[in-house]
Amino acid sequence: MKHLKLFEEFKDKVTYEMTGSPKPFFATKADFVSAMEGWGYLHTTLNKNTDMLIAADEDLGTLKWEKAEKYGIPIYTYRDAYNKKEKLYTRIIRNKKIVNLNKNQAY
């Protein structure tokens, strides 16, 4: 029941966490969050249900990076995430719906 509630809350949102500075592409992380919100992205904390980690190029090996790798969460640079936002959104939302459909069929 808890999973279904979380799915309903985020079913049309791509969740992400950030690490490192978004410069030179955005002045601040808040600017990046604002730019992504209109495309269906939601900034959250990093956990096993987070859809992606967005990182600065030089942030290789941070604790968030290691945690994302542990959970199998894809990692993108600020530039790639913003430039590919439409394609990533479509792919991630489609995968969420397939996973949820498979879970519902298993019951």
The closest alpha carbon to 36, from 85, 73, 84, belongs to 85
Give the separation between CA 30 and CA 54, rounded to whole angstroms. 13
Angle CA(99)–CA(81)–CA(11) in degrees, nearest 5?
Answer: 30
d(CA 54, CA 84): 12
What are the pLDDT digits (tens) for 33-66?
A: 999 999 999 999 999 999 999 999 877 778 999 9
Domains and CATH numbers, the chain: 14-95 (3.40.50.10190)
Average pLDDT for the chain: 85
The per-residue pLDDT for 61 is: 74
| pLDDT score of 10 more than 80 | no
